[in-house]
Chain A
Amino acid sequence: MDRTKTPKQTGGYESADLEGEFMLYHSQLAKALYLNETASLIWKLCDGTRSVGAIEGLLRDAYPDAPDLTRDVDDAFKTLIDHGVLELS
Chain B
Amino acid sequence: MTVRGHRVVPFAGQIVGVEWSGAGARDAAELAFGGVAADDDRLPDVIFRLGTDDDSPLLTLYCGRICLYRGESIGAGAHLLLQAALDHLVRQCDAGLVIHAAVLGCGDDALLLPGPTGSGKTMLSAWLSLRGLAPLSDEACFLRDAESRLESFARPFCFKGPWAELLGVAAPDHRRVLQDDSVSLVPRDLFGSAPRAAARAPRLIVFPHFAPDASFALDRLSPARAAVRLMETVANARNLPDHGVGRVTDLARRVDTYSLTYGRFDQLAPFAALLESLA
- Residues on A facing B (Cβ under 8 Å): 14, 16, 18-19, 21-23, 25, 27, 30, 32-35
Q: B253: CB under 8 A from chain A? A: yes
Check A21/B222 contact, CB under 8 A, given A27-B243, A34-B228. Answer: yes
* 13 contacting pairs across A/B (C-beta < 8 A): A18-B223, A18-B227, A18-B249, A19-B222, A21-B224, A23-B227, A23-B228, A23-B245, A25-B231, A25-B243, A27-B243, A32-B227, A32-B228
Complex contacts, A21 vs chain B, CB 8 Å: 222-225
| Residue B232 lies at the interface, judged by CB distance under 8 Å to chain A | yes
Specify the chain B residue showing the minimal Cβ separation from A36. Answer: B224
Contact count band on B: 10 to 19
Partner of A22, one of B224, B242, B246: B224
Selected from A14, A33, A34, the residue in CB contact (under 8 A) with B245 is: A14
For B225, the closest partner residue in chain A by CB is A34
- How would residues 228 to 253 of chain B score, 1 for a CB under 8 Å from any chain A CB and 0 otherwise? 11011000011000110110010011
Q: Are B253 and A18 in contact (CB under 8 A)?
A: yes
The proximity string for B residues 243-275 relative to A, scoring 1 for CB distances below 8 Å and 0 otherwise, is: 101100100110000000000000000000000
Q: In the complex, what distance in Å separates the CA atom of A58 from the CA atom of B63?
A: 61
Chain A residues with CB under 8 A of B245 = 14, 16, 23, 25
